[in-house]
A = this chain, B = another copy of it.
């Protein structure tokens, strides 16, 4: 096996120069660096790692699996998680997967390939079994969701999220309090055993408590979290159900698509139709009118996820579950229902 001396003589440079290159010191010219690295590669050099060197390796790594990376709701949570990892001397290894991918398989693979100490899942299923998550083999946190439909022992995992059902109840009730009774819900799927189903249940409970019968024709499933699908579903709703006066959208990006669909159908918001959602991302301040939304504390959510994971990793603290509350961001998309004239 080649040594650092072999590389030095092969390149006709000093051993100290080779050392500087291999230790990523900046004071080496680009051409020398290139020559040394190529020689190290050609000679099959493998670093004889001492304990001191090993301490410099990024082994204190936490994985972050983001399911649905196009979702702007996640952007500031990711930034917050990264900053919080940094502050606690952990590296964050990011892995973004489509909403259609399986975060359990992907997370387990990431832990193995990157030798991670812990895992944060940003977005995922709500119905894990013990077998599902045993593959991780490291402590993990469900961020922005929790295991409401699953079979996990709360002592075996951590979570940080809002209470989806409670917040959906609040959003729906705000529409009811404004006189609405023909209230549609816009969501991925009412039976996904995930975020959508939780929020659907809150919507149903709010209607039931107000004595408003559930109207299946107002349950608008997109079977997809894309804005385009939401736009098309609301366009169809406008055509089929002229009696609808309000929409509760399960997420801001769906509400933004709903606003667009209502505008394009010639409706005025909120005079003809009210729209409310849960998330409260910065972008939805700039819809016309500004989207009325229950805002999730995105930065705090990221901070808490790292905090409780690092407590488990560094101090063998027990797993914990944090429920955060939303705050109402006032906007212009909710109005009193118009009385028929």
Question: Which residues of A line the B interface, CB within 8 A?
Answer: 1, 24-26, 28, 30, 33-34, 37-38, 46-47, 49, 51, 54-59, 61, 69-70, 72, 75-76, 78-79, 82-83, 86, 91-96, 108, 111-116, 134-138, 156, 227-228, 231, 253, 256-257, 259-260, 263-264, 282-283, 285-288, 290, 316
Are B26's CB and A70's CB within 8 A? Answer: no
Known: A72-B75, A78-B69, A264-B288. A137 touches B38 (CB 8 A): no
Q: Which residues of B contact A56 (CB under 8 A)?
A: 115
Main secondary structure on A side of the interface with B: helix
Are B137's CB and A26's CB within 8 A? Answer: yes
Q: Which residues of B contact A136 (CB under 8 A)?
A: 26
Are A134's CB and B26's CB within 8 A? Answer: yes
Select which of B24, B76, B82, B91 is within 8 A of A138 by beta carbon. B24
Known: A70-B282, A82-B94, A94-B82. A288 touches B316 (CB 8 A): no
Q: Which residues of B contact A33 (CB under 8 A)?
A: 137
Are A227's CB and B282's CB within 8 A? Answer: yes
> What CA separation (Å) do A38 and B316 show in the bound complex?
7
Q: Which residues of B contact A290 (CB under 8 A)?
A: 260
Of all chain B residues, the one with the shortest Cβ separation from A26 is B137
Are A287's CB and B260's CB within 8 A? Answer: yes
Shortest C-beta distance, A314 to chain B (Å), equals: 8
Of all chain B residues, the one with the shortest Cβ separation from A51 is B46
> What CA separation (Å) do A78 and B78 show in the bound complex?
12
Q: Which residues of B contact A253 (CB under 8 A)?
A: 283
Are B96's CB and A78's CB within 8 A? Answer: yes
> What CA separation (Å) do A112 and B54 show in the bound complex?
14
Shortest C-beta distance, A43 to chain B (Å), equals: 14
Q: Which residues of B contact A96 (CB under 8 A)?
A: 78-79, 82-83
Known: A134-B26, A288-B264. A114 touches B95 (CB 8 A): no
> What CA separation (Å) do A57 and B180 show in the bound complex?
58
Are A70's CB and B61's CB within 8 A? Answer: no
> What CA separation (Å) do A108 and B24 show in the bound complex?
10
Known: A34-B316, A264-B288. A115 touches B26 (CB 8 A): no
Of all chain B residues, the one with the shortest Cβ separation from A283 is B283
Of all chain B residues, the one with the shortest Cβ separation from A258 is B286
> What CA separation (Å) do A37 and B117 show in the bound complex?
10
Are B24's CB and A286's CB within 8 A? Answer: no
Q: Which residues of B contact A24 (CB under 8 A)?
A: 111-112, 115-116, 137-138
